[in-house]
A = this chain, B = another copy of it.
Amino acid sequence: MATISPSAPPQGLALFRAALPPGTGDAPTADRLCALGAALHLARAEQLAPAPQEDRLVWIAGGAAKLISPHGHGPEGPVPGGQVLAFHFAGDLVSVLRQSARELQGGDFRLVALEPCDLVIFPADSFLDCAQGDPAVLRSVLSRSLQALHRSRTRMMQMGHKSAAARIADFLVSMAERLADCTAGPCAFALPMSRRDIGDSLGLTIETVSRQLTELREAGLVATEGRSRIALADVAALARIAGRQVEQPKN
């Protein structure tokens, strides 16, 4: 489990600064923000040491990670790797609330690297204190959060009552968007997560994930190569299976 190095390898922070909202990137606030951030590199499968006392904002400079809840879920959650809540990729800002929060009790979240990963870690309190000096930054963070909430809600709605096929299709479309920046037509990319991770994030077993992929393969909609490469023949068709279609209101 990695610990935070205060002597930050500079590239993560430089990238972070470049990603700040335009017009603030070179303001003095940006300097102060960067001073708060600690850069950290995680190797594959390594996890960010949880912070018991403080909320954190983690910016992903590069790589891919999963946000998990180690305690599984149900009465008997035999989830070995921990329940997967979300996947995050380069450019994402992840908020990792401290576990104590009497909140819903699952609340012990950890970030685990799916592949070598560069992070910039901010204590949420100091970050926000500092960002108060530059409301544009605060607002940008808020706007990201509202969008994340919106996405999470939409996803939740879908999770509620969707077939395995729809969930897998939705997952693939979502990955195509985020990993290959592709929303229609064909595309190919490498999935950084295992079948187990996929299943855990969708509420399915690995067997079901595998079976659904086989069906899509037989339908000619996807092709796989090795364990992680995947090619989607028609993202729009998958979106349709996912129940995502921009359905023309038929009234």
Contact = CB atoms under 8 A, between A and B. Distances in A.
A243 interface: yes
A9 to B, nearest CB: 28
A110 to B, nearest CB: 13
In the assembly, how many copies of this chain are there? 2
Residue from the set A86, A128, A149, A245 with the largest chain B CB neighbour count within 10 Å: A149
B145 A71 contact: no
Q: Looking at chain A, what size class is its interface with the partner chain?
A: 35 or more
A141 B132 CA distance: 13
Given A74-B163, A135-B132, A157 B105 contact: no
Interface string A157-182: 11111110010000000000000000
A85 interface: yes
Interface in A40-89: 55, 67, 69, 71, 73-75, 77, 83, 85-86
